[in-house]
Amino acid sequence: QVIIEDDGPEKLDPKYFGELLADLSRKNTDLYHCLLEHLQRIGGRYCKYIICLDSEDIESLIPRGLSEFTKQQIRYILQMRGMSDKSLHLVLSTFSNIREELGHLQNDLTLLENDKIRLEKDLAFKETQIKEYEELLASVRANNRQQQQGLQDLTSKCQALEENNLSLRHTLSDMEYKLKELEYCNHNLEQENKNLRIQVSETCTGPMLQVKMDEIGNHYMEMVKNLRMEKDREICKLR
């Protein structure tokens, strides 16, 4: 027979239990400081209703009549409880601040969406204006080209008219020169006729001679009249 002796449940070493509580207390404190640093880094606000237990409050909660080692263990437990409450409130503050930041971000996102819609409308309006401006500019350029072509045509016509006018002026000058020559010849003929009349009147007289002289004078006057009429017609035609 194998006799198994049962001494009851295994007892935990009080020293090991105290060290475990101390290590948990240190880690809990480190966790609190990490959360506090995180909250300060994101710019959060602290909760004003955190209940902090100081050393006197902790000592008042420890029952009397216990050993110093047991008191130390209870003291670790109470410190961990207070630190856990602080950590919890820091976590709640962090989530509250994050919720507020999310609300602000949502509002900013809504404003940005509204600005985006407004900018898209402005962009569409400006694109329409640009298209209208381009169409107007194309029309103005087409009209400008037509006006330039018309101006070139008018310039060519003016140059042709100036050349024609210059040619007419030269022709008129030639006709005036010819007219002066005819007038000079007419003057010479009149002078010669006058001299002939004087000579004839001095040499002979008689009705037949007078008739002959009248015929010659009438013929001469008719010829001069025709020359003047032809001259006037040429001048009118040239003008």
Check residue 135 and give its pLDDT.
93
Kindly state the tokens that stand for 203: 């040499």
The count of other CB atoms within 10 Å of the CB of residue 191 is 10
Check residue 143 and give its pLDDT.
92
The total domain count for the chain is 1
Above 70 in pLDDT, residue 199? yes
Kindly state the tokens that stand for 223: 């010829």
> In this structure, is residue 24 part of a structural domain?
yes
Mean pLDDT of 105-134: 93
> In this structure, is residue 233 part of a structural domain?
no
Of residues 95, 102, 100, 78, the one with CA closest to residue 35: 95
Q: Are 74 and 62 in contact (CB under 8 A)?
A: yes
Higher pLDDT residue, 174 or 16? 174
> In this structure, is residue 154 part of a structural domain?
no
Give me the DSSP letters along 119-170: HHHHHHHHHHHHHHHHHHHHHHHHHHHHHHHHHHHHHHHHHHHHHHHHHHHH
Give the residue numbers spanning the domain of 51: 14-123
> In this structure, is residue 77 part of a structural domain?
yes
Percentage of the chain with pLDDT > 90? 21
> In this structure, is residue 217 part of a structural domain?
no
> In this structure, is residue 53 part of a structural domain?
yes
Give the pTM. Answer: 0.37
